[in-house]
Amino acid sequence: MQFARVIGTLVATRKAEGLEGVKFLIVQPLDKQRQPAGEPVVAADGTAQAGPGELVFIIAIREAALTLPVTFVPVDHAVVGIVDEVDIV
Amino acid sequence: MYIGRVSGTVVATIKNELFVGRKLLVVDRLDLAGHPTAKYDIAVDMVQAGVGDLVLVLDEGNSARQIVGREPDGAIRAVIVGIVDQVALEEDARAGV
């Protein structure tokens, strides 16, 4: 899992079966110092509670879909948690 | 699996239920010479590792789910599965990095 910043939201009315009710966020992946690293991606919100501006952590590939109510869905990035505190030495 | 160095901790209240009660650590991926690379993972600790420890990190979903006993649908990938005591490498392998 990696850090990411929520920078936007996305709405799609017509989408693959199983994705009804899933919230999509646009997130910017971050490096360890929480600086942007790589291209922004669209991620499903596995917490259902994240919003723009928040520092979150994301999971990629197959595990992303496992954060959602229906787990066999076409999703490759998902927000798994909202970060309260980071302590890096 | 890869060798990493624990460099920090992450606290989150709102998170996937699988992570409730589990410790999340930031682990830097190391090169063969033991230097941190730009890559890192936020990993679940299963061996009571702490900041500064040299650790063995697994980054594969099915194995991770087996370790936490959450097959087949646990949303987990990166797990700290060992604390490294010693690494022996051929001299040129270490120098070749």
Domain boundaries, chain A: 2-82
Kindly tell me if the per-residue pLDDT of B97 is higher than 70. Answer: no
pTM for this prediction: 0.92
Task: Give the domain ranges of chain B.
Answer: 2-95
Domain A2-82 has CATH 1.10.1740.10: no
Q: What is the 3-state secondary structure (H, E, C) of chain B?
A: CEEEEEEEEEEEEEECHHHCCCCEEEEEEECCCCCEEEEEEEEEECCCCCCCCEEEEEECHHHHHHHHCCCCCCCCCEEEEEECCCCCCCHHHHHCC
Residue A85 pLDDT level (bands cut at 50, 70, 90): very high
Let me know: does A76 contact A64? Beta carbons within 8 Å: yes
At B92 the pLDDT is 78
Summarize the confidence of residues B5-19 as an average pLDDT.
Answer: 97
> Nearest by CB to A88, which of B7, B16, B75?
B7
Kindly tell me if the per-residue pLDDT of B76 is higher than 80. Answer: yes
Q: Tell me if ipTM is over 0.95.
A: no
pLDDT digits (tens, 9 = 90+) for B23-48: 999 999 999 999 999 999 999 999 99
pLDDT digits (tens, 9 = 90+) for A18-61: 999 999 999 999 999 999 999 999 999 999 999 999 999 999 99
Contact B22/A at CB under 8 A: no
Q: Indicate which of B5, B10, B79 best probes the interface with A, i.e. most A CBs within 10 Å of its own CB.
A: B10
In the chain, the amino acid numbered A22 is V
Fold for B2-95, please state it.
OB fold (Dihydrolipoamide Acetyltransferase, E2P) (2.40.50)
Contact A43/B at CB under 8 A: no
